[in-house]
């Protein structure tokens, strides 16, 4: 997966940034900064976490949970229930 990581991140960056701008009305650059500076994005970059297993809606939901609670781990996709 390491060799595909730049392509993977590029795809997710574009999709998630679009979702953020559409839902919250942020400019592209503002949404980009918010996403790239998030814990969710750091998790996405971590090859060992295999975040490519989740689709864009799940990653977006993790980012939203982080914005609300301060932690993407509060996402329904990551909680242990």
pLDDT of residue 1: 57
pLDDT of residue 62: 97
Report how far residue 17's alpha carbon sits from residue 36's, in angstroms, rounded to the nearest whole number: 9
pLDDT tier, 53 (very low <50, low <70, confident <90, very high otherwise): confident
Which of 7-11, 16-20, 69-73 is the least confident region? 7-11
pLDDT at residue 16 tops 80? yes
The residues, any chain, with a CB within 8 Å of residue 4's CB and separated by 6 or more, are: none
Domain extents for the chain? 2-74
pLDDT of residue 28: 96
Q: Give the pair of three-digit tokens for residue 51.
A: 């975040």
């Amino acid at each position: 997966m390491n060799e595909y990581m730049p392509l993977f991140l590029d795809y997710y960056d574009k999709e998630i940034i679009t979702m953020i701008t559409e839902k919250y009305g942020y400019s592209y650059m503002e949404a980009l900064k918010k996403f790239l500076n998030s814990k969710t994005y750091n998790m996405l970059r971590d090859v060992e976490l295999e975040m490519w297993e989740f689709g864009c809606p799940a990653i977006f939901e993790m980012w939203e949970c982080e914005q609300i609670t301060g932690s993407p781990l509060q996402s329904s996709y990551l909680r242990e229930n």
